[in-house]
Amino acid sequence: MQIEYRDDPNPGNEALNALWAIAWNATSPQRDFSSILSRSLAHVGAFSGSKLIGFVNVAWDGGIHAFILDTCVDPGFRRQGIATGLVERAKILARERGAEWLHVDFEPHLTHFYRRTGFVPTDAGLVRLRDSDLC
């Protein structure tokens, strides 16, 4: 099986929502990704033929800091290095587009994955601005 990585693809809301539903086991309402992606520093899609099977977004602060968000892969394609390929391509694009630092937040079970892709531990803070049932 050939996996193609595409920089800044426009797979459309239908494909992104379908990937989100299966990758995150989400039943949330359909999202419009156009405003999110239009402000991103970069995003990378992984495709098997014409099917979107993986995605990562690189948000940024408009300066030297960029942020990996929403790395996801269709469960039927996991454990094949696709997420690693997405993150590695995102690192290259962020560097080429002027970022000096690339940040990522993740759940504890993903620590090994992100350490393997070069991320080191840092201290950080987080505050919830909305209750999850209000979002």
Enumerate domains of the chain plus CATH numbers: 4-134 (3.40.630.30)
14-62 per-position pLDDT tens digit: 999 999 999 988 777 788 899 899 999 999 999 999 999 999 999 999 9
Measured between alpha carbons, how far is 98 from 129 in angstroms, rounded to an integer? 29
| Cα angle value 37/45/61 (rounded, 5°) | 35
pTM of the predicted model, to two decimals? 0.89
68-88 per-position pLDDT tens digit: 999 999 999 999 999 999 999
Q: Is 124 exposed, middle or buried (0-12, 13-18, 19+ CB in 10 A)?
A: exposed
Question: Strand, helix or coil at 58?
Answer: strand
| Cβ pair 104, 68 in contact under 8 A | yes
